[in-house]
Structure 1
């Protein structure tokens, strides 16, 4: 099992979605946790840029103002979300 937990300080930066997608692919990640996303909501389009093959189940906690926010992705064919 491989995972990445990262304090990314803003997931909406230019090129970040491509970078995350490449990290998932290059390192065969099973889970991804991002802190300080600075986003209130993640649209399906935004998540598709990070996960173009829809391999992950995504959950998030919205940011409050310009700080906080957590995005968590779990590969659904490897891991199971219990609660």
Structure 2
């Protein structure tokens, strides 16, 4: 099992979605946690760019103002989300 926790300082930056998608596929990431995303909401379009095959379940905490925000993803085939 492998994961990535990253203070990305803005997930909406140019090239960030491609970079994250490449890291996820190159390293077979099972879970992903990004903080300081600076986003209040994540569109389905952005999540598809990160995860084109819908392999992950995504949850987030919105940013407040111009700081914060957390995005978490877990690979559906390897992990189970308990609420």
Please state which band the TM-score falls in when normalised by the shorter chain.
Answer: over 0.9
Secondary structure of the structure 1 residue equivalent to 2:77? coil
- Which TM-score applies when normalising by structure 2? 0.99
User: In the TM superposition, what whole-angstrom CA distance separates every residue of 1:2-55 from its partner, at most 9, and x where no partner exists?
Assistant: 000000000000000000000000000000000000000001001000000100
> Where does residue 68 of structure 2 map in the other structure?
68
Counterpart of 2:29? 29
Q: Structure 1: which 5+ runs fail to align?
A: none
RMSD, aligned CA: 0.3
Distance 1:79 1:3 in 2: 12
Question: Could you state the TM-score of these two structures normalised by the residue count of structure 1?
Answer: 0.99
Q: Which runs of 4+ in 1 moved over 4 A?
A: none
